[in-house]
Structure 1
Amino acid sequence: MLIAIFRAARLAVLAAALVACGPVQAELPVQGFEVQAAYPHDTGAFTQGLFYLDGVIFESTGLEGASSIRKVRLADGVVLQSRATDPTMFGEGIVNWDGDLLSLTWRDSVGFRWDLKTFAPKGSFRYDGEGWALTQDGRSIIMSDGTPTLRFLDPKTLKVARTVTVTAEGRPVRNLNEIEWVKGEILANIWMTNRIARIDPRTGAVKGWIDMTGLPETLSQRDPDAVLNGIAYDKAGDRLFVTGKRWPQIYEITLKPAKNPVP
């Protein structure tokens, strides 16, 4: 039923994305990419959150009855550790903070705190609205909720310290899905598109787009729900990874210089 709802809403979501993003694509710089390596990825994983830490990938998966948090060996895709989350809830984004792993749910307005090493439950927290994705900048936990608003949370209380509205050429950008802090910017998948936004965390302004069109999974229409969703960054190795829901690969990429750069 949930997948059917996604598919029924697909045209409406794409139309909304085009309204938010389409007119500005000719103005903002657009970067391409080169694939440096490809690693196996579980095609059963409906990827909602992704980050890289201490040599492994941490991933959260969604769908009611199939949501989980997991630790994955990058080289061969082997799931080293996993824990199913509440089967009545749809799992969403994850982030690490001070020995914990925090996870969101989509429409239940509740998040969970887990021990990062053991995945043992340590508590829960509440938030208003939907939960889509999490990342952190070393000072704040950053949360997306599907709207143009990003929330910056106090890591101790998980209360909203400030918000920023994401805009492209002054127009709000919706459907900010999985997010990642990379070199002082927030990278955000735009749901059901092949675009990643490069966001200024101070102003919310989109500085440019990364166009992931050309990856094999972006060219296939066999599963309309298997969209680009998952960004992870290895800071020590300066490596950027992307994947998607039910994709067979995690790709390590480098970015090409931008086209039509802003003067």
Structure 2
Amino acid sequence: MSAICVLGLGVGCSCGPVHRRPTEGGPTRKVARIVQEYPHSTEAFTQGLVFHQGRLFESTGQKGSLREISLESATPLWIERLGDVFTEGLASDGERLYQLTWTEGLLYTWSGLPPTRERTTPYEGDGWGLCYWQGRLVRSDGSSTLTFHDPETFEPLDSVEVTLQGQPQEQLNELECANGVIYANVWHSTDVLEIDPSTGRVTAVIDASALARNVASQVRGITDAVLNGIAVEPGTGRMLMTGKLWPKLFEVRLETLD
């Protein structure tokens, strides 16, 4: 997102305890290698990216929208504009899409193809990133806390503090739950974290700086044009990454450096 906030301290609810790890070993070091480049809309302030029922969807901020995108063209295949609502993270449970809002405190649930808004659920605190893990929605809010929610009611169920070698990791932004971990963009960073959902421990740090360098000349001077957006395709494991206002979307391969 574009502001620092601490949801973990602001949720007025009966969340479960935050699990803390006093000491941790070092994370695995990985790098994101570019496999393929695809066009991406430079008008898309990317907040969420997810595969859903074999299609690729994106949530954009500023002037909010939900859009279906393709790898062939920067022009969306379908778009629902949401006016002045600043929409954020996007998740799929295979049947429905769930879309956060930044400060409006509203969760949009979409069903069908093309998606139709099924319900709007209020919640407390900010919304940044969202993903679906083992029957629960996982929300980031820019702090070091990840909060787990019931998909039907969006009631908070539990939370973990994300730590790297024992130190809290803040500015957690867009999320993707896949491969047994939670991938998290770190706002204004070219690092992507792999997080153990059970403990909050960062098990790997992915260097995605090659992607930012690739588009640097095209986004020079645009402060908010930062890495944001991770999607892993079910079945194939293909991983896509992009950034806010970037002209490209990348297929990447993760390689271990250690």
Output the TM-score relative to the length of structure 1.
0.83
Query: 2 CA distance for matches of 1:143 and 1:137?
Result: 11
Using the TM superposition, give the Cα deviation of residue 98 of structure 1 relative to its aligned residue in structure 2, in angstroms. Answer: 5.3
User: Could you tell me whether the CA contact under 8 Å between 2:33 and 2:210 is conserved in 1?
Assistant: no
| AA matched with 1:115 | S
Kindly, what percent of the aligned residue pairs are identical? 35
User: Could you tell me whether the CA contact under 8 Å between 2:32 and 2:210 is conserved in 1?
Assistant: no
Alignment of 1:216-231 (within 5 A): 216-217=214-215, 221-231=220-230
| AA matched with 2:244 | K
Matched, 1:81 2:74: no
| SS of residue paired to 1:117 | coil
Deviations 1:180-239 (A, max 9, x none): 012000000000010000100000011121011122135764212100000000121121
| AA matched with 2:78 | Q
Matched, 1:167 2:167: no
User: Could you tell me whether the CA contact under 8 Å between 1:57 and 1:73 is conserved in 2?
Assistant: yes
Query: 2 CA distance for matches of 1:80 and 1:127?
Result: 30
Query: 2 CA distance for matches of 1:199 and 1:55?
Result: 25
Query: 2 CA distance for matches of 1:42 and 1:144?
Result: 25
- Give the corresponding residue for 1:30: 29
- Of 65, 69, 72, the residue aligned with 1:72 is 69
Deviations 1:39-92 (A, max 9, x none): 1111110000001234421000000xx21000112233441111011x232111
Matched, 1:157 2:157: no
Deviations 1:96-154 (A, max 9, x none): 23532211111111111222413322221122210001101242111111111111111
| AA matched with 1:208 | A
Alignment of 1:73-112 (within 5 A): 73-85=70-82, 87-97=83-93, 99-112=95-108
Aligned residues: 235
| AA matched with 2:50 | F
Query: 1 CA distance for matches of 2:107 and 2:52?
Result: 21
- Choose 147-156 or 37-46, whichever is displaced more: 147-156
| SS of residue paired to 1:214 | helix
Give ranges in structure 2 of 5+ residues lacking alignment: 5-24
Matched, 1:240 2:231: no
Query: 1 CA distance for matches of 2:153 and 2:195?
Result: 25
Give ranges in structure 1 of 5+ residues lacking alignment: 11-25
